[in-house]
Structure 1
Amino acid sequence: MQEQIYTNYRLLLPTEEVLGTLVIRDRLIADIQPGIVDQGQNGHGNYLLPGLIELHTDNLEKCISPRPGVRWNLDAAAVNHDRDLISSGITTVCDAIAIGDVTPREDSLRNHHYAPMIDVIAEGKTAGRFNVDHWLHLRCELGYEHLYDIVEPYSQHPLLALISLMDHTPGQRQFVNIDKYKQYYIGKHGVPEAKMEEFINMRLESQRQHAVKNRQALVKITQEKGISLASHDDATVDHVQEAIAEGVVLAEFPTTVDAAQEAHSNGLQVLMGAPNLVLGGSHSGNVSAMELIEQDVVDIISSDYVPRSLLQSVFVISQQTHKALYEAIKLITLNSAKAINLDSEIGSLEIGKKADFITVHDDGVVPRILEVLKNGIRVA
Structure 2
Amino acid sequence: MEQAYRNARVVTRDEDFIGSVLVRDGVIAAVDPGPGAVGEDFDGDVLMPGVVDLHTDALEKHFFPRPNIDWNPVSAAVTHDAACLSVGVTTVFDSLSVGSYNASVARDRDNIGRLTDGLLAARDGGMLKADHRLHWRCETPSDELTERLPPLASHPMTALFSMMDHTPGQRQYRNIELHLNNWRERGMDEDAIARRLDEIRDRQARNAASNARFVAELAKAMGVALASHDDEDVEHVDEAADLGATVAEFPVTRQAAERARARGMTVVMGGPNLIRGGSYSGNVPASELADAGLLDAFASDYVPRSLVECAFALATAPFGWSLPRAVASVTATVADAVGLSDRGAVAEGRRADLLRVRPIRGLPVLRGAWVAGERAA
Q: TM-score scaled by structure 2?
A: 0.95
Contact 2:51 2:89 in 1 (8 A): yes
2:330 to 329, 332, 335: 332
Superposed counterparts of 1:281-360, under 5 Å: 281-319=278-316, 320-343=318-341, 345-360=342-357
The structural deviation recorded for 1:156 is 4.0
Distance in 1 (CA, whole Å) between partners of 2:172 and 2:294 is: 19
1:203 lines up with 2:200 in the alignment: yes
| Corresponding residue SS for 1:10 | strand
Q: Indicate the larger mover: 203-212 or 128-137.
A: 203-212
Contact 2:97 2:107 in 1 (8 A): no
Distance in 1 (CA, whole Å) between partners of 2:235 and 2:226 is: 17
| Corresponding residue SS for 1:63 | helix
* Aligned residue number for residue 73 of structure 2: 74
Contact 2:352 2:371 in 1 (8 A): yes
* Aligned residue number for residue 99 of structure 1: 98
The structural deviation recorded for 1:37 is 2.4
* Aligned residue number for residue 83 of structure 2: 84
| Corresponding residue SS for 1:362 | strand
| Alignment: residue pair count | 375
Distance in 2 (CA, whole Å) between partners of 1:145 and 1:290 is: 37
C-alpha RMSD over aligned residues: 1.7
Q: TM-score scaled by structure 1?
A: 0.94
The structural deviation recorded for 1:205 is 1.9
1:73-108 Cα offsets, whole Å, 9 max, x none, are 211111111111111100111110111122277x46
Amino acid at match of 1:288: P
| Corresponding residue SS for 1:251 | strand
1:378 lines up with 2:375 in the alignment: yes
Contact 2:4 2:20 in 1 (8 A): yes
Change in 2 beyond 3 A, CA 1:5/1:191: farther
* Aligned residue number for residue 5 of structure 2: 6
Distance in 2 (CA, whole Å) between partners of 1:337 and 1:258 is: 25
Amino acid at match of 2:264: G
Distance in 1 (CA, whole Å) between partners of 2:187 and 2:214 is: 30
Amino acid at match of 2:376: V
The structural deviation recorded for 1:39 is 2.3
* Aligned residue number for residue 38 of structure 1: 37
Amino acid at match of 2:282: G
1:147 lines up with 2:145 in the alignment: yes
Contact 1:148 1:217 in 2 (8 A): yes
The structural deviation recorded for 1:314 is 1.6
Amino acid at match of 1:373: W
1:311-369 Cα offsets, whole Å, 9 max, x none, are 011211221211011111111101111122112x1100011111110000002421100
User: Unpaired runs of 5+ in structure 2?
Assistant: none
Contact 2:73 2:119 in 1 (8 A): no
2:246 to 241, 244, 249: 249
* Aligned residue number for residue 169 of structure 1: 167
Identity %: 36
Contact 1:101 1:111 in 2 (8 A): no
Distance in 2 (CA, whole Å) between partners of 1:258 and 1:292 is: 10
The structural deviation recorded for 1:69 is 2.2
Amino acid at match of 2:221: E
2:273 to 258, 263, 276: 276
The structural deviation recorded for 1:186 is 5.8
Change in 2 beyond 3 A, CA 1:70/1:322: same
Distance in 1 (CA, whole Å) between partners of 2:197 and 2:13 is: 47
Change in 2 beyond 3 A, CA 1:110/1:259: farther
